[in-house]
Structure 1
Amino acid sequence: MVAWWEGYDLSALKAREKAEAEAAGVIEEGPASPSNKAAGALDRFGKPLWTATRIQVAEKMWGEGLTTPGGKEYTESLVKPLGINNTMSVLDMSAGLGGLSRTMHRSYGAWITGLEANPMLAEYGMEYSKKANLQKQAPISHYDPNNFAMDRRYDVIFAKETLFTVADKGALFRKINDSLKPGGQMLLIDYVVTSQDVLPGLRSWSDVEPVEPFPWSIDEAKETFAKMKLDVRIAEDSTARQIGFIASALSILQKHLESHELNDETRDAVTSEVKLWGKRAEALMKGLKLYRFHALKPG
C-alpha cells in the first residue's frame, strides 16, 4: 500500500489485474463478449466498474474493507441501534469489500450474509473474509439487485448507498420485505431527492455516475414502506454529515496529488475518484439527499 501510494511501479499489480480481468471475461479493449457482461462488472460506459487500483484508492479514502464514506466507527454506529446479537441473521445488501459485515460479526457475533452487486468487489471481499477466517461467518457473494431471489428470511436487512441504482424499487422492496422475518428490521442509507422535480438540475451528477442512478423521492420511499406495512421509526437527513466525510477525504487526496509523484495509472484512478465524489458532493448541495431509514416489520 505504501509503495502504491508513493507512486512506485505497479507492473506486478497490473499483470495480476489483467489476469483477473481475463479470467472474469472483463477486458477493456475490443468488443464486448457474452462472458464480460456479468451483472455489475462494467459501468454504463462499457469500462470495468472496479479495478484493483480503484479498490486501493477507495480504501485509502474510506478505510480498510470500505468503499463508501464514514469509516468503521461511523458505520458501526449506524447498526448499533438494531440490537444485533449472536442469535440473529443479518443480510448486508451492500457488502462491498465486506468491511462492515466482518465488523458486525466481530462486534455482535451474528452471522452476516454479504451480497455485492460488483463481481470484483465480491471476489476481493470474500478473499478478505477468508484471510480473517470468517468465510462462514461473513461470506461475500455477487448478486444482481435487479434480478435476484432469496431462499431464506432474515432478522435484519441492511443496505448502504447502493440501491439508488435500481430502477424498479417497488419490485426490489417487495423481495426485501418477503425476506424479512416478522419483527425484523430494515436499515437503509441511500441517496434520495426532495422531489422528482429537482432531477433536471442534477444532470451534471447523474450523467457521470458509473451506474445510472434512479433516486426516488423521500415521499416515495415513505409511501413504499407504508404499502408494505413497515413501521418507519427513523427517517433522518444525513446529507450534511456525508458532505463532511467527502470533503475530508477529497482534501487528503488532493494533498497527496500535490505532494507525491504517482504513476499514470494511479493518478488516473485518484483523479477519477476525486471527480466522482466531487460531483456527488455538489449534487448533495443542490437537492440530492442522503437519508437513513430504519423500519420495523410487524411481528
Structure 2
Amino acid sequence: MDPNDIQRWLNPDWRDRLEAWWEGYDLGHLYVQAKEAKAMRAARWELKPTPRRLETAAATAEPPPAVLIDDAPPAFVEANEDIEARQLEGLDIDRRGKPVWSVEQVRGAQMLWGDGFVGPGDAQFMVDAVRPFGLNPAKSVLDCSAGLGGAARAIVGAYDTWVTALEPSPLLAKLGMRRSEALDLGRKAPVMPYDPESFNPAGSYDLVLADRILHRVRDKGPYLDHLCECVKPKGSALLMDYVIDGAPASWDSWNAWKDTEPLELYPWTAQRMKDELVQRNMDVRIVEDITAKLRRLIVERVRWLADALQNATLGTTVVDKGLMAGLARELQLWWARLKVLGHGLRYYRFVALKPA
C-alpha cells in the first residue's frame, strides 16, 4: 500500500469516506490493511499496493454521515423558489404520492451532474455519443429523454443541427425550455413535455435518441413502433438503456433499488431489445455493454463533487437545507442503482439503421 494511502485509510476524512462508500469499499477492512501496511513498512516489508475490494461491501455498506454537510458552497446556492415550477411538481407524481421531480431535487441533481443535466453523461459525453451519425445543419434529431435539455443544446452547439427534445417530467421540460430560450435556442433546441405511454411524435428525423427511458415504459411495443416509424430512411436510432442480465447478485440490493425508484420499472434483456428492433425492420448494427462506462461516470462525478465541496469556502455560506435535501435524494437514488449495475442490471448501447 502506498504511504499516502496508508495515512489516508488510517485517518479517513469525510471525502475519503464518501469515495469508499460510493465505490463499495469496506472502510473497516481498509483500516486494518493500512495498519498492517504501516507495521510492515516499519519492518521494511512490502505489502501489495491495491486495497482488496470486498464483493459483499456494496450490499452492507451504509452512507456515511459526511455526505450531508451543514453548509452549501456559494456557487451552489440558487435564487428563491419559483412558484410556477412548484405548481408543475404536482403534475408528475410517483407511486408514493410525491413529485417524481421536485425543485430541490433538480437543484441537487445539477449540483452533482452539472448545469443543465440531471443524470450521468455531460455535454461532451453526448456530443461524442452522436458523433458517428454525421450530424450537420441540414439534419434533425429527436431526443426522447431530454431532462433539462443539456444534451440537446450541446448537440446543437457542436453540430449546428436541429434537436427536438421531449421530456416526461413537466417540471424538467419547463425549466429546460427556459434555458433554451435564454440561450436563444428556443427554436433549435426546444424542450417539450410528453407522455411515453402515449408516444406518437410528428415528423421524421435523421437520428432518434433515447437514453434511459424505455425501461420506464410499461407498454414498449407501441413506443418502439412510433420511435422506429419517425426515423427517416437511412436514418438511425441510438438507444441507451438498462437491461436485465441474469439473476441479481443480491436480491436484497435488487429489491432495495426497485423500492428506491420513484416509478415502476420494466427493463427487458438486451436480446429482447435487439429482437424487437429487428421485428420493426431496423438494421441493428451495435449491441454494446457500456455498464463500466456508466459506473465510471457516476464515480467521477461524486469525486468531483467531493473535491468541489472540499475546496469551497464555507465560512460565510448560508445553509441551504433544500439544496442539501435534494442532493441527498439524488445520492440515495444513484447509490441504489450503483449497487445493482453490473450485478443483474446492465447499461447497453443499441445502434440501429433504417433501410432506404
TM-score normalised over the length of structure 1? 0.85
SS in 1 for 2:200: coil
Equivalent of residue 86 in structure 1, options 105, 118, 137: 137
Shift, 1:47, TM fit: 1.2
1:240 aligned onto 2:307: no
Question: Match of 2:321?
Answer: 264
The one-letter code matched in structure 2 to 1:54 is: Q
1:92–1:158 contact (8 Å) kept in structure 2: yes
Question: Match of 2:234?
Answer: 183
| 1:75-116 deviation digits (Å, cap 9, x = unpaired) | 211010111111112100011111111111121121111100
Equivalent of residue 20 in structure 1, options 85, 100, 107: 85
The one-letter code matched in structure 2 to 1:144 is: D
| CA distance in structure 2 between the partners assigned to 1:59 and 1:98 by the alignment | 12
Question: Match of 1:280?
Answer: 337
The one-letter code matched in structure 1 to 2:99 is: P
1:52 aligned onto 2:103: yes
SS in 2 for 1:5: coil
Equivalent of residue 170 in structure 1, options 221, 224, 229: 221
| 1:3-45 deviation digits (Å, cap 9, x = unpaired) | x93279979623x2x45323x3x4xxxxxxxxx4x4xx22222
Where do 1:1-299 residues align within 5 Å?
Answer: 5-6=72-73, 13-14=80-81, 16=82, 18-22=83-87, 24=88, 26=89, 36=90, 38=91, 41-195=92-246, 197-198=247-248, 201=251, 202-253=254-305, 262-299=319-356
More moved, 256-265 vs 151-160: 256-265
| CA distance in structure 1 between the partners assigned to 2:295 and 2:76 by the alignment | 33
Change (3 A) 1:105 1:255: closer
| CA distance in structure 2 between the partners assigned to 1:148 and 1:199 by the alignment | 34
Shift, 1:199, TM fit: 9.7
1:257–1:267 contact (8 Å) kept in structure 2: no
Change (3 A) 1:174 1:131: same
Shift, 1:149, TM fit: 1.7
SS in 2 for 1:146: helix
| CA distance in structure 1 between the partners assigned to 2:76 and 2:304 by the alignment | 22
Aligned residues: 279
Question: Match of 1:29?
Answer: none
1:63–1:72 contact (8 Å) kept in structure 2: no
| CA distance in structure 2 between the partners assigned to 1:266 and 1:42 by the alignment | 20
| CA distance in structure 1 between the partners assigned to 2:249 and 2:197 by the alignment | 22
Shift, 1:162, TM fit: 2.0
Shift, 1:256, TM fit: 6.7
2:122–2:151 contact (8 Å) kept in structure 1: no
| 1:141-200 deviation digits (Å, cap 9, x = unpaired) | 0000111222211111001122211111122101111111111100011111124x4498
Change (3 A) 1:279 1:12: same
Q: Rg larger in 1 or in 2?
A: 2
Q: CA RMSD in A?
A: 2.4
TM-score normalised over the length of structure 2? 0.72
Shift, 1:210, TM fit: 1.4
The one-letter code matched in structure 2 to 1:269 is: G
Shift, 1:219, TM fit: 1.1
| CA distance in structure 2 between the partners assigned to 1:72 and 1:45 by the alignment | 33
SS in 1 for 2:277: helix
1:232–1:293 contact (8 Å) kept in structure 2: yes
| CA distance in structure 2 between the partners assigned to 1:256 and 1:10 by the alignment | 14
